[in-house]
Structure 1
């Protein structure tokens, strides 16, 4: 059991994106915000905090800092593939918040599916059969990086 916590990828992910400002910055990027001033305005985030979080997200490979003007020297922040692949996690967290924490008027943001035109709802599904993945439909088991010889009963 101890190895499960030492190799905890959920803990690693939360250490990187779990801080509230980092996740909010990534959410704004997923919705099209790219420039420092836009982040500062939409999030009402203290500028030193914004600078630090953007630097961390760039260093971690979630964002690229790209120059868009030379006089004065200006940059914007674009999601990398790694950053874009957080979209399902953000949507799932939003879905949970919309269900349990939304204002009485309903959720603040809806997603319209471009293919069918309907308001989209999401779920986590098995890539093999398409069945929904939920706590009661899966069984955890040791993966490739589980410590060789680790006692699964501990």
Structure 2
């Protein structure tokens, strides 16, 4: 059965999930942030099947999150290096990590913590308003149609109701 594509939905969450595709992709990106660059390193650290890893790395390169850089010519072998687009995904992983630490960590506590080099403190992700710096929560934030929302959908009654807040 073919999976539904969300690539053209008027929703950045759906588009991001379409790019990720499955649970392996964010884990491959996590490993890239941990400093893994080579195919064998990803395969060893994740225990992922080689064909699955090949597919995920290809997709991340095609989508511009990783760049292939040759480090050996015979046979040709590549490092997989985070691009600016890939590095920008770090906040998504930190937010997922924060949620998992709060709701899924056992009594021993979080399995991995984040050390902020700038201030020298252990910390965690917080979603704050870029304009005022206050926390953004489900209680104090609501969605609004942005400039990229398709006009043909904006006129539908169910869509108008969704964004009426």
Q: Same fold (TM over 0.5)?
A: yes
- How many residues matched? 150
Structure ranking higher on relative contact order (CA contacts 8 Å, 6+ apart): 1
Partners in 1 of 2:75 and 2:9 — Cα distance?
A: 46
1:74 and 2:82 aligned: no
- Report how far residue 138 of structure 1 moved: 1.2
Q: What's the secondary structure of 2:114's corresponding residue?
A: coil
Out of 57, 60, 65, the position equivalent to 2:63 is: 60
Aligned Cα root-mean-square deviation (Å):
1.7
Which residue is equivalent to 1:35? 38
Residue 161 of structure 2 aligns to a residue in which SS? coil
Greater CA drift, 98-107 or 85-94? 98-107
Unaligned residue ranges in structure 2 (runs of 5+): 1-7
Return the TM-score normalized by structure 2.
0.84
2:102 is the alignment partner of 1:99: yes
The normalised TM-score by structure 1 is 0.90
- The alpha carbon displacement at 1:136 in A equals 1.1
Residue by residue, what CA displacement relative to the aligned partner does 1:91-124 show, whole Å, maximum 9, x if unpaired?
0001111111123311111111112211012201
- Match 1:14 to one of 9, 14, 17: 17
Consecutive unaligned residues in structure 1, runs of 5 or more? none
Report the Cα offset of residue 6 of structure 1: 3.6
Runs of 4+ in 1 over 4 A off after TM superposition: none
Q: Secondary structure at the match of 2:102?
A: helix
